[in-house]
Amino acid sequence: KQEVTQIPAALSVPEGENLVLNCSFTDSAIYNLQWFRQDPGKGLTSLLLIQSSQREQTSGRLNASLDKSSGRSTLYIAASQPGDSATYLCAVGQAGTALIFGKGTTLSVSS
Amino acid sequence: NAGVTQTPKFRVLKTGQSMTLLCAQDMNHEYMYWYRQDPGMGLRLIHYSVGEGTTAKGEVPDGYNVSRLKKQNFLLGLESAAPSQTSVYFCASSTWGGMGNEQFFGPGTRLTVL
């Protein structure tokens, strides 16, 4: 059974710092990996989708990498801002239809 | 283009009451999903549908029923609500379930069962 783990569970950084969020998964037979952002009391916003054949995806200050063989993905946030404060979730897509989610990393960026 | 919408946004029920949560999408997506999100548990799949008229069980289906009578709508029903069903419920949709399974989420419904 696929298990998705995100470390750390919480992270606090000062504004301007570059940071990395980690996601690991136990079964490398995935179709894709998706990173989401969730603000308190809100829904999920898709940030980046990496297909299994891809190594990375970039959107603005965000860069997500995927190493399927080792079961790891990272989300790199450059020059963090207070507006980046949120919970970041990673989820893997496998055969069938459901995404399997990690429990998230709650990021706090102080000004 | 509203994307995925959910009604209601909030609801308080008493134990034993019933209710239906409505999810609607205007992206012509084939696949739709219902998840619940609980503290410390992450998001878990309740039921899903691969097309109009079809439904299937997910990881935590007990106590819930679903229907997909129209392609754009996916209903989640609680026949006899229990306090353990207090949660935030999210609906999502995608164009298909395999490669390229990018899912789009609604804003959620916060349900409290007393």
Q: How many CB atoms lie within 10 A of CB A69?
A: 7
Length of chain A: 111
* CA B54 and chain centroid, separation: 14
Give dist(CA A20, CA A39) in Å, integer. 18
Alpha-carbon distance A40 to nearest alpha carbon in chain B (angstroms): 11
User: Average pLDDT, stretch B41-63?
Assistant: 92
* CA B33 and chain centroid, separation: 6
User: Phi, psi at residue B14, to the nearest 5°?
Assistant: -95, 150
Give dist(CA B68, CA A81) in Å, integer. 42
Q: Do A31 and B99 touch (CB under 8 A)?
A: yes
* CA A97 and chain centroid, separation: 19
B51 and A CB contact within 8 Å: no
Close Cβ partners of B38 (under 8 Å, ≥ 6 residues apart): B44, B87, B88
* Tens of pLDDT, residues B66-114: 999 999 999 999 999 999 999 999 999 988 765 457 889 999 999 999 9
Q: Do B101 and A42 touch (CB under 8 A)?
A: no
The percent of residues in chain B predicted with pLDDT above 90, rounded, is: 82
Give the per-residue pLDDT at B97. Answer: 62
Long-range contacts: B43-50, Cβ < 8 Å, 24+? B43/A89, B43/A91, B43/A99, B43/A101, B43/B90, B44/A101, B45/A98, B45/A99, B46/B76, B46/B89, B47/B76, B48/A97, B48/A98, B49/B74, B50/A97, B50/B97
Give the per-residue pLDDT at A98. Answer: 75
Close Cβ partners of A103 (under 8 Å, ≥ 6 residues apart): A5, A6, A9, A89, B40, B41, B42
Give the per-residue pLDDT at A97. Answer: 61
Give the per-residue pLDDT at A99. Answer: 87
Q: Do A103 and B41 touch (CB under 8 A)?
A: yes
Q: Pull the structure tokens for residue A46.
A: 């898709």
User: Average pLDDT, stretch B29-44?
Assistant: 91
Ranges under pLDDT 70 in chain A: 96-97
Q: How many CB atoms lie within 10 A of CB B98?
A: 14
Give the per-residue pLDDT at A69. Answer: 92
Chain B contacts of A42, Cβ < 8 Å? 107-108
- Contacting B residues, span 68-107, partner chain A, CB-CB under 8 Å: 90, 92, 94, 97-107
Close Cβ partners of A80 (under 8 Å, ≥ 6 residues apart): A13, A15, A16, A17, A18, A19, A107, A109
User: Average pLDDT, stretch B51-59?
Assistant: 92
Q: Do A49 and B104 touch (CB under 8 A)?
A: no
Give the per-residue pLDDT at A96. Answer: 66
Give the per-residue pLDDT at A95. Answer: 75
